[in-house]
Structure 1
Amino acid sequence: METVLAKIVDDKKIWVEERKQTQPLESFKADLVPSDRSFYGALSTGKTAFILECKKASPSKGLIRDDFDLDYIASVYNNHASAISVLTDEKYFQGNFDFLPQVRRQVKQPVLCKDFMIDTYQVYLARHYNADAILLMLSVLNDEEYRELAEVAESLELGILTEVSNEEELERAIALGAKVVGINNRNLRDLSVNLDRTKELAPKLSEGTIIISESGIYNHQQVRDLCAYANGFLIGSSLMAEDNLELAVRKVLLGENKVCGLTHADDAAKAYQAGAVKGGLIFVEKSPRFVDAESARIVMSGAPLEFVGVFQNHNPEFVANTANELKLSAVQLHGDEDQAT
């Protein structure tokens, strides 16, 4: 039975031949200039790297983000990403090469063209649309094809994310001298996900290789668990599925952190700017950081945090009314309350 990956590659061959006819290489090759944003540099800061992805749909999930506002997505990613990945495959991911310049002109990071690269034409095309890096998949390319595409990429100073999904591909990546290796936790033949793949393969890579864990990253705990094995993460679907993209990015990258005892709107703003996800409002009168409902409203106007109300031995009705009135995301009980309360 034909695998999903094999079908995608067959369709990509047809797409490439058709695109060569409508947009011949000769029509733009002479105008190409090398990239001036270093993909390798962006991933080599010594901090955990995050390649955040612009993805409208996928074969495994179908439509992921109906309201695919690239300007909004880019504005959020610009504040958090090390690099930004843009899907350009049309048939299976509803991507487009036009997305590359639209994103790049709004961000400071290098932009990765994520597609099923099988022909040098696509590498030139990616740079024509302002990509700074490309994805080369060893599940798709043999060694000779990889070298051919990599040579073109290097001539244009494009970074290369070399993707592997098993030990055989990993050994090939090492032999090919890949600088950045993406370990795909998704089996591209049946689309199943196994995060242990990163743990199994990463230790086999040589020191100095930048290791990126790809697919299946949905929360901060997973990031923490895999940080010992990977230098960074490529994250797309879990973010694209959330309406509040800013909040989703913060939760995955920074965790469900809370700054408690906020008493002024500018405090809330500073907490938000520092990466906070939640803000704590203390409704306990004996606390030096006590706020009443009116003061809480003023604090909440300072930032779009998820606000949590802190109560101690209050009447349950008061807690419920306050939570509903202020639209609190959660309440925290710090007294003698039990589960029955």
Structure 2
Amino acid sequence: MNPILHKIVETKHSEIKESRGRSLPTRKIPIRDWKSHLKTSSVSVIAECKKGSPSAGILRPSYDPVTIAKEYENAGAGAISVLTDEEYFFGSLRDLESVASAVSLPVIRKDFILDPIQIDEAYAFGASAILLIVRILTPTELESLLKHAHQLGLSVLVETHNEKEVFVALDAGATTIGINTRDLDTFQIHKNLIEEIAPKLDPSIIRVAESGIESFEDWQKYMGMIDSMLVGTYFMKSPNISRDFHSLLHGTKSI
């Protein structure tokens, strides 16, 4: 495991210990249907609210997740991803709650989830879905966390990086598979990964392309292979999200 990823996982274990016994708020936000927003007649966008990352540092100094999320919704996003990790990605559960309260789209908690208590937090703070990363979980852990999320009515995006991890995800019961072109061990992007893996997945699976999508041309070659794409850094670096959202989908900056 990459030293940075290993450090993040260690931090998560410490946070989980601190979370035990802590009371959670009563959920006030309805769970919004994941599949109908992502598996549509065209490729949908899971647009991400992310202030920064360990590899890129601060991406958006004037970060207001609610304003960004509303702009995403108005631009036509299918769902919104909110980074909730505080120490490495500068997010919070309050960001999740604020965004989920402000939009009518399904919102996914994107974090390094290792324990059911983190799923309980996601539910309490308004998420309609969570992210689970195969790379940091055993097959047994993955299956258990998937079941826990589904019992709460939450959808799950299961992130993979190779065919072996895809098989693990499917065996655990995943119905939404994310193919992350970024190798979490090296942080390198392998764009051909989508073309290698996505066509082999059953059409009933919601297939999500993750990382490295920064242009109309980037995702056009995936047409017919994916149902959705998760895009964060491209938008976070943009001075005009609405314009560049349109440019990403249509290949023109007409806005």
Q: If the length of structure 1 is used for normalisation, what is the TM-score?
A: 0.71
Is 1:176 paired with 2:172?
A: yes
SS in structure 1 of the partner of residue 69 of structure 2: helix
Q: Work out whether residues 146 and 174 of structure 2, in 8 Å CA contact, stay in contact via their aligned partners in 1.
A: no
Match of 2:73 among 69, 78, 83: 78
Q: Work out whether residues 166 and 201 of structure 1, in 8 Å CA contact, stay in contact via their aligned partners in 2.
A: yes
Structure showing greater relative contact order (alpha-carbon pairs closer than 8 Å, 6 or more residues apart): 2
| Correspondence 1:197-236 to 2 at 5 A | 197-236=193-232
Unaligned runs of 5+ in 1: 257-276, 279-304, 306-341
Task: Name the residue aligned to 1:311.
Answer: none
Q: Work out whether residues 174 and 205 of structure 1, in 8 Å CA contact, stay in contact via their aligned partners in 2.
A: no
Aligned AA (2:78): S
Deviation of 1:32 (Å): 5.0
Could you tell me how far apart the structure 1 residues matched to 2:170 and 2:19 are? Answer: 33
Q: Work out whether residues 214 and 233 of structure 1, in 8 Å CA contact, stay in contact via their aligned partners in 2.
A: yes
Match of 1:109 among 98, 105, 110: 105
SS in structure 2 of the partner of residue 74 of structure 1: helix
| Correspondence 1:213-292 to 2 at 5 A | 213-256=209-252, 277-278=253-254
| Structure 2 CA distance for partners of 1:128 and 1:229, relative to 1, 3 Å | same
State how many pairs are aligned.
Answer: 254
Could you tell me how far apart the structure 1 residues matched to 2:2 and 2:130 are? Answer: 26
Q: Work out whether residues 143 and 173 of structure 2, in 8 Å CA contact, stay in contact via their aligned partners in 1.
A: no
Deviation of 1:91 (Å): 1.1
Which shows bigger deviation, 146-155 or 127-136?
146-155
* Deviation sequence 1:116-151 (CA, Å, 0-9, x none): 000000000011100100001111111211122112
Is 1:95 paired with 2:97?
A: no
Deviation of 1:94 (Å): 0.5
| Structure 2 CA distance for partners of 1:112 and 1:159, relative to 1, 3 Å | same
Could you tell me how far apart the structure 2 residues matched to 1:6 and 1:167 are? Answer: 22
Match of 1:121 among 111, 117, 120: 117
Aligned AA (2:37): A
* Deviation sequence 1:257-314 (CA, Å, 0-9, x none): xxxxxxxxxxxxxxxxxxxx32xxxxxxxxxxxxxxxxxxxxxxxxxx4xxxxxxxxx
Unaligned runs of 5+ in 2: none
Q: Work out whether residues 5 and 189 of structure 1, in 8 Å CA contact, stay in contact via their aligned partners in 2.
A: yes
| Structure 2 CA distance for partners of 1:122 and 1:19, relative to 1, 3 Å | same
Could you tell me how far apart the structure 2 residues matched to 1:4 and 1:186 are? Answer: 14
Across the aligned residues of Structure 1 and Structure 2, the Cα RMSD in angstroms comes to 1.7
Task: Name the residue aligned to 1:131.
Answer: 127
Q: Work out whether residues 161 and 182 of structure 1, in 8 Å CA contact, stay in contact via their aligned partners in 2.
A: yes
Q: Work out whether residues 51 and 89 of structure 2, in 8 Å CA contact, stay in contact via their aligned partners in 1.
A: yes
SS in structure 2 of the partner of residue 112 of structure 1: strand
Aligned AA (1:43): L
| Structure 2 CA distance for partners of 1:119 and 1:33, relative to 1, 3 Å | farther
Q: Work out whether residues 3 and 190 of structure 1, in 8 Å CA contact, stay in contact via their aligned partners in 2.
A: no
Q: If the length of structure 2 is used for normalisation, what is the TM-score?
A: 0.94
Larger Cα Rg: Structure 1 or Structure 2?
1
Aligned AA (2:9): V
| Structure 2 CA distance for partners of 1:35 and 1:120, relative to 1, 3 Å | farther
Could you tell me how far apart the structure 1 residues matched to 2:247 and 2:203 are? Answer: 30
Task: Name the residue aligned to 1:263.
Answer: none
Task: Name the residue aligned to 2:42.
Answer: 47
SS in structure 2 of the partner of residue 134 of structure 1: strand
Q: Work out whether residues 35 and 157 of structure 1, in 8 Å CA contact, stay in contact via their aligned partners in 2.
A: no
Aligned AA (1:54): C
Is 1:151 paired with 2:147?
A: yes
SS in structure 2 of the partner of residue 226 of structure 1: coil
Task: Name the residue aligned to 1:15.
Answer: 15
